[in-house]
């Protein structure tokens, strides 16, 4: 058995929620995902894998979307793989595919179109779960705003008070 984690990364473009898809080594559109390292949680692994495969850094983490599984053969061995997906939000940044890992493209697509371009039914179900959450009122995850600098009455940067 192998464990992986990944993300459904959302961004509003012209007011419409879009999903970030990647073109995998098999030439299919899918979702960013990868192996969970021994010292990390599935959420940490999902964040790391999304960052590695898409080049996006400013990602806000949201709820777990579910777990998918599938079987494949590697070196004559049958492997059962599980992948936990999380919802992420990305408000900025240009995705860049991780070419050295076989990711040849990244593309933002409207959520309903993602259901048409992703050939894997189990991955489409994860996108559907993200759609259900949005329809139920869940917001696309956002990073908190950066802290404001303290200024004095003259508008100059002020030193924070000693603790």
CATH 3.90.79.10 describes domain 2-135: yes
- Contact status, residue 9 vs residue 62, Cβ threshold 8 Å: no
Please report which confidence band the pLDDT of residue 163 belongs to, taking 50, 70 and 90 as the band edges.
very low
Mean of per-residue pLDDT scores for the chain: 91
Asked if 159 contacts 106 with a C-beta cutoff of 8 angstroms, the reply is no
Each residue's pLDDT tens digit, 43-65: 999 999 999 999 999 999 999 99
Q: What is the pTM of this model?
A: 0.87
Do the bridges between strand 2-13 and strand 77-89 make them parallel or antiparallel, or are there none, so unpaired?
Answer: parallel
Distance CA 141, CA 89 (A): 5
Q: Judge whether residue 42 has pLDDT over 60.
A: yes
pLDDT of residue 159: 52
* pLDDT bucket at 154, cuts 50 / 70 / 90: low
Dump pLDDT digits (tens) for 3-31. 999 999 999 999 999 999 999 999 999 99
Banded pLDDT at 151 (limits 50, 70, 90): low
* Residue range 55-77: mean pLDDT, rounded: 94
Mind spelling out the 3-state secondary structure of 1-56? Answer: CEEEEEEEEEEEECCEEEEEEEECCCCCEECCEEECCCCCCHHHHHHHHHHHHHCC
Ordered by start, the domain boundaries in the chain are 2-135
Predicted local distance difference test score (pLDDT) of residue 72: 86
């Amino acid at each position: 058995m192998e464990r992986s984690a990944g993300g459904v990364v959302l961004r509003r473009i012209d007011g419409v929620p879009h999903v970030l898809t990647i073109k995998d080594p098999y030439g299919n559109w899918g979702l960013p995902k990868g192996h969970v390292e021994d010292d990390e949680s599935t959420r940490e692994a999902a964040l790391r894998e999304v960052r590695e495969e898409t080049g996006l850094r400013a990602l806000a983490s949201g709820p777990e979307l579910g777990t998918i599984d599938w079987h494949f053969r590697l070196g004559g061995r049958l492997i059962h793989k599980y992948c936990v997906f999380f919802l992420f939000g990305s408000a900025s940044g240009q995705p860049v595919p991780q070419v050295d890992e076989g990711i040849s493209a990244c593309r933002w697509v409207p959520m309903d179109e993602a259901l048409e371009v992703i050939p894997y039914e189990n991955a489409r179900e994860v996108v559907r779960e993200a759609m259900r959450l949005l329809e139920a009122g869940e917001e696309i995850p956002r990073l908190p705003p950066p802290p404001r600098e303290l200024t004095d009455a003259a508008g100059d940067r002020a030193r924070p008070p000693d603790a």
